């Protein structure tokens, strides 16, 4: 057993999504289990087409335009968010979608990226995952 | 022993207070101990009349007016913040108020909701609580 | 063994840097090991002259000017950030700088406060530190 990381992704800010995925993939590559629990603005990013673009794209990194940060990330050889998310799923990471947020924000399951979401669930599922984790973060 | 969650509530944003209380009450309902350590903008929310309204009410959920989010929460059958906080206290959750924040912000004990605060304390108390916790978050 | 705290300092907001250092120093003074992993806007604060001033100074505490908060902190006998950071290093705290952020933001090692940084490293180092920690936070 190599331990476990459970991260709440509450923010929809591009820089914080990067942090969440980099920590998540780092944990996976060191043999840990990882669960990402997407809620509030984080869950909005799991709508089809919203991870790197879409209506949310106005919410950028502080003081840096979205194009600018993408450019900087690319120049520094950081993989795009879409690739990081794909790696996460391929490496066996688990994506949990907060069903309360879906109710509150009026998000239909059809709008979300069903193919990569492991479970639609409530806070009880998060608690169970987090309780057995070595690393717990709220991002 | 069912474990323990200790959460720092640093933010005063309505959406983050919701997240903190939902995680806290979820932990309690699964038999865990929970301590919420209110500091900075979070502590401002424990002033009388400030949890859901008052001068702070301008600090709303990003892009959503306060009325809008309350309406959405209600439509989704999410209990109001005031009820969530009441549940938290009734289920045995512990509320800790950061005394340094009181000094810095010039908050008098009389301004705070004395009836639900378990202790006015400093970072040492937080560390003790967090050290023995399974889930530690900064919100 | 008295336990360990590992904190990611992602934000560059003055109030959050205060929280990070106060928790860090509180942990050290209770005999714990502490690692602070500075990334994104947090790392910008480790540029020479940026902790309490410099170009970043416009990013202040919500609704409070920078001078105002410094004044309030001083009146409440809270030590300045610079002193808190010095205490942290003297008490044996470890400062880790995220090398990916340096690439992305175009930050040269010469711009950073080399004298207090223990290591320039990537997420793998953070995971190792966090995995063995009792308290893990993302600030």
Residue pLDDT tens, chain B, 139 long: 589 999 999 999 888 999 999 999 999 999 999 999 999 999 999 999 999 865 444 444 445 566 677 788 888 888 899 999 999 999 999 999 999 999 999 999 999 999 999 999 999 999 999 999 999 999 9
Does A26 contact C at CB distance below 8 Å? Answer: yes
Contacts of C91 (CB under 8 A, 6+ apart): C25, C28, C29
Q: pLDDT tens digits, residue range A95-111?
A: 999 999 999 999 999 99
Which residues of chain C are within 8 Å of residue A62 when distances are taken between CB atoms?
Answer: 41, 59
Average pLDDT over residues C19-30: 97
Q: State whether C136 and B131 contact (CB < 8 Å).
A: no
**E strand map for chain A:** 4-9, 33-38, 94-98, 119-121, 135-138
Interface B:C, Cβ pairs < 8 A: 64
Q: What is residue B103's predicted lDDT score, i.e. its pLDDT? A: 93
Of chain C, the percentage scoring pLDDT greater than 90 comes to 75
Does B117 contact C at CB distance below 8 Å? Answer: no
Question: Can you give the pTM of this predicted structure?
Answer: 0.93
State the smallest CA–CA distance between residue A66 and chain B in angstroms.
Answer: 18
Average pLDDT over residues C2-27: 95
Which residues of chain C are within 8 Å of residue A3 when distances are taken between CB atoms?
Answer: 131
The top-scoring range by mean pLDDT among B91-95, C78-82, C102-106 is B91-95
ipTM of model:
0.91
Confidence of residue C76 (pLDDT cuts 50, 70, 90): confident
d(CA B75, CA A46): 22
Does A108 contact B at CB distance below 8 Å? Answer: no
Confidence of residue A36 (pLDDT cuts 50, 70, 90): very high
The yes-or-no verdict on residue C59 having pLDDT over 70 is no
Q: What is residue A131's predicted lDDT score, i.e. its pLDDT? A: 97
The two tokens of residue C24 are 């860090």
Does A76 contact C at CB distance below 8 Å? Answer: yes
Task: Assign B79 to helix, strand or coil.
Answer: coil
Selected residue of A1, A7, A15 to mutate for chain C interface (largest C Cβ count, 10 A): A15
d(CA B46, CA B78): 20
Confidence of residue C52 (pLDDT cuts 50, 70, 90): confident
In chain C, which ranges are continuous DSSP H helix? Answer: 14-29, 40-44, 66-75, 81-90, 99-105, 123-131
Q: What is residue A99's predicted lDDT score, i.e. its pLDDT? A: 95
Q: State whether C123 and A23 contact (CB < 8 Å).
A: yes
d(CA B95, CA B9): 10
Average pLDDT over residues C105-120: 96
Q: What is residue C64's predicted lDDT score, i.e. its pLDDT? A: 57
d(CA A23, CA A32): 11
d(CA B61, CA B64): 5
More confident residue, A1 or B112: B112
The yes-or-no verdict on residue C125 having pLDDT over 80 is yes
More confident residue, C61 or C130: C130
Instruction: Give the one of C26, C30, C138 whose C-beta lies nearest to B138's C-beta.
Output: C138
């Amino acid at each position: 057993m190599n331990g476990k990381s459970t991260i709440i992704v509450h923010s929809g800010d591009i820089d914080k999504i990067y942090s969440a995925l980099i920590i998540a993939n780092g944990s996976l590559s060191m043999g840990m289990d990882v669960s990402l629990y997407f809620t509030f603005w984080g869950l909005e990013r799991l709508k089809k087409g919203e991870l790197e673009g879409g209506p949310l794209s106005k919410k950028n990194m502080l003081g840096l335009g979205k194009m600018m940060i993408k450019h900087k990330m690319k120049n520094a050889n950081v993989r795009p968010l879409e690739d990081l998310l794909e790696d996460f799923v391929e490496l066996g990471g688990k994506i949990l979608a907060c069903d309360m947020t879906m109710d509150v924000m009026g998000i239909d399951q059809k709008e979300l990226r069903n193919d990569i979401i492991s479970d639609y669930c409530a806070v009880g599922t998060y608690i169970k995952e987090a309780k057995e984790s070595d690393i717990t973060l709220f991002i």
